[in-house]
Structure 1
Amino acid sequence: MERKEMDLHEREFMHIHFRLSMTDMKQKLIETSIDNTLLEEELATANTKIENLEKQITKKDSELKSIMEVLYSNTSLSTGQLEWKIKGVKQKIENKEDTYSDPFYVGLYKCQGYIQWNCLNTFEVGVFIFIMKGDYDDKLHWPIRYKYTFILLNHINSDNNYEYTNQISKENLEKYPECFKRPTELRNDDSLGTRSFISNTEILEAKYCKEDSITLLIIIELLPAL
């Protein structure tokens, strides 16, 4: 009799445990269902936000395209200028150290100044312009054509600066095509300018060189294609 009662109690205990387990499992399933519903709602909200952002981006892209079209149409009228202050001139001349300027833009064309302090061992300072690879090159006209001016500022008499001016001719375009083509690397392999801008002794005169520094202006005016 005692054995039967024990078996009965065990069965009742197992049934109770089973019912509790089932209840717990149902609760977890309900919670999981709620979590999934919340997750679906969050995903739906996120998708809506993404769609709205995509619409805004499309609108901004359209506005930017319109602005860029105006810039491209007017790029042939652009003039750009670099005011280039160069320090440590004496040492650069002694070391024959080539010097590059920071990049600057003329319209949407990216350019860079370049100096050879003892160009071809002639004791002359050569000044040149490189065309660099830019963000808008696929929208621009190539080969580029421009007028350029180099101005070495006179610190004593501003009316007596040292200047050199030239412009790209048809002959230049044919003879030095690498200077004016659309760049495929950081910058074109060739540059254009003058190999004898000023002697490397004259540039050290007090009127140009102040506290071992000079200031060189590079002015570029874009010209229509030939």
Structure 2
Amino acid sequence: MKMIRFSVGMACLSISFLVATATDASSQTATTSVAKPTVIGAIKDSAITPGVSATTQTADSPDAHLDNAVAALNKGDKATTTQELQTGIAGLEAAAQQKPTSFKDKLLAQASKLKALLPLIPTGALGSGVLGKAVSLAKLASGGNQLEGILAAGSLLGKGSQLTSGLSGIGSALSSLGGGTQSTGKSLISKALASVSKLDQGGLVAKAAEPVAKTEISSLLNLVKGAL
């Protein structure tokens, strides 16, 4: 009887051990299966991040590169200043050749003046004030070339946004120059913007505003030529 009881006891212990082992294995498997989605999710998140940053775009206009050059010089970054200035100059020259107006020579002249500043950057002899003024004059010529090109293309109807952009660029350049030219230019720009805002409205309102806008923009362009 003792042997039978001992055998039964051993059998119970064996069964208990097997059940416990199976339970532990199940727990580990469940834990592993739960942990996997977390790892996969982390990989997906890291893969998405570069895609988001890749969608960020920066302005690639000549004026933007010139502004970047001034900002880089203020930070003491000579390499970036040189690179951005060279890119901006190339853009100005391309605009003068591709869309020539009466501002062509003035635009190329300002580009040449900017080129003359390039050798001063590595030596540290170029001050931000000097570069800033040169850039403002170049942007003034660029804005004048842009606006005159739009005027020469014919009807201004439906071109309110383009003209507004050009007027704003000239206004920004004039603000940097200061003086009486800035004050007069600001007044002319305000009048021109009021007329230009009606060009996209269509109908009689737009048609009535067109000749007024042409006259006001032409007056502003004459002022810009005088400043250059």
Q: TM-score, normalised by structure 2?
A: 0.36
Structure number with the higher strand fraction is: 1
Rg bigger for which structure?
A: 1
Q: TM-score, normalised by structure 1?
A: 0.37
Structure number with the higher helix fraction is: 2
